[in-house]
Amino acid sequence: MSGHDFQFCGASLVACANGTLWLPESETLCVSDLHLGKSERIARRAGLMLPPFETLDTLTRLGETITRLNPKTVICLGDSFDDLTAANDLAPDAKSHIIQLQAGRKWLWIEGNHDAGPVDIGGTHVAQTTIGNLTLRHIATDEEAEISGHYHPKHAVAGTARPCFLYDTRRLIMPAFGTYTGGLRSDAAPLKALFPHGAIAVLTGKSAIATPLGKNQRPQDSRGMSY
């Protein structure tokens, strides 16, 4: 799988081009901000009708990654559902798809601000979890060695901004994986406050492109080659 290999707080990680994070030593796959059921939630709350295909599209893309990597553990870093009603009202085929993805592996639902409560679709619901010295939660704190989501970061090297990972020596923020999720530009005030000394942005897409933020350096592709 195309990805950006890097070291983070003593751990070897791969920021995959599709927006998932692979921890090869523990065979753990992390994904953030699926926002399943977003079209249903928007219709229910705002009366706006969007094509209701984003849930199965998101799950299909996640399933392709799970098939390829066969992780022992899958960790969903919060806001896996657009709200708890959307979680409870998922279509039977979507629930069946999730249960199939969970088969034979450990599955953790980390609590997010959109789904701050347990979901009855298999797996284990937790506030946060740890892998070695890394802490995984939904929203970044002041702790070090932290992996989180929530902000849906995006960045542009040239042209349209893409969802991206952001990391420095202390924290890593993952992109949103959900089909209908928006994004917050990497130079937005909340993200600049979290990375006051700069960061590495890893853009997702056909290939993972890593580029330093706030420094006059050329971006790199997934092989570390500058262009």
d(CA 15, CA 199): 14
Residue owning tokens 């081009």: 17
Q: Tokens representing 144?
A: 């070090």
**How many alpha carbons fall within 13 Å on the CB side of residue 41?**
20
Q: What is the pTM of this model?
A: 0.88
Could you tell me which residues come within 8 angstroms of residue 1 by beta carbon, excluding any fewer than 6 positions away?
Answer: 14, 16, 17, 18, 22, 65, 68, 69
All domains in the chain, ordered by first residue: 3-213 (3.60.21)
pLDDT 10s per residue in the chain (227 long)?
A: 589 999 999 999 999 999 999 999 999 999 999 988 755 554 545 455 455 577 888 999 999 999 999 999 999 999 998 777 767 778 888 889 999 999 999 999 999 987 767 778 899 999 999 999 999 999 999 999 999 999 999 999 888 899 999 999 999 999 999 986 879 999 999 999 999 999 999 999 999 999 999 753 344 443 333 32
